[in-house]
Amino acid sequence: MDVANKLAVCKVVAQAILSDAEITDEERAFLDKLMERYQLDPAQRREVLRRNVGDDPAELVRGIDDPGARETTLRELARAVATDGVLAAAEEQLLARVADALGIPREKVEDLIADAVLES
C-alpha cells in the first residue's frame, strides 16, 4: 500500500475514534500502533491527528483507489471502533458511510464488525 493510502486509512481511523466524542486509551493506542505499523514519520502523524469532529469520513477515503487498501481501510476502521468494547450509533453510521464511499457492500461491513468485536 502506498503512503497516500496509508495516510487515508489512518485519517479515517482517527476520525472514527473522534466520532463518539470520547477517546479511550485503547483507541489512542490502536491509532498509535497503526501509524507505527505503517511507518508514518512525525509530520505524517501530525497530519493524521489533525482531525475535527466535523470532518467527512467519506471524503477522507475517496482517494483510495487500490481495492486491497479499500478493504484494509474498512477492516482497520472496524477494529478501531471495537477497541473500546462499545459500538456507538455514530460509529456504526461512520462505518456505513465509509463503506458506501468505498463501494463495499453492507454485508461485508457486518462481517468486518463481527470479526473486529471477536478480536477485541
Residue 120: pLDDT band by 50, 70, 90 thresholds?
Answer: low
Mean pLDDT taken over the chain = 84
Region 13-27: mean pLDDT is 80
Q: In the chain, helix, strand, coil percent, each to 5?
A: 70, 0, 30
For residue 30, what pLDDT is reported? 92
- The Cα–Cα gap between 87 and 14 comes to 15
For residue 74, give the 3-state DSSP assignment.
helix
- The Cα–Cα gap between 29 and 73 comes to 17
* Domain range annotation of the chain: 3-119
Classified by CATH at the fold level, domain 3-119 comes out as: TerB-like (1.10.3680)
Long-range contacts of 50-55 (CB under 8 A, 24+ apart): 51/11, 51/14, 51/15, 51/18, 52/18, 53/18, 53/19, 53/21, 55/15
Better pLDDT: 21 or 98: 98
pLDDT at 31 over 80: yes
User: pLDDT tens-digit profile of 33-85?
Assistant: 999 999 999 999 999 988 776 778 888 888 888 888 888 888 888 888 888 77
- The Cα–Cα gap between 30 and 76 comes to 9
Instruction: Please name the residue ranges forming H helices in 20-105.
Output: 25-37, 42-49, 57-61, 67-82, 89-102
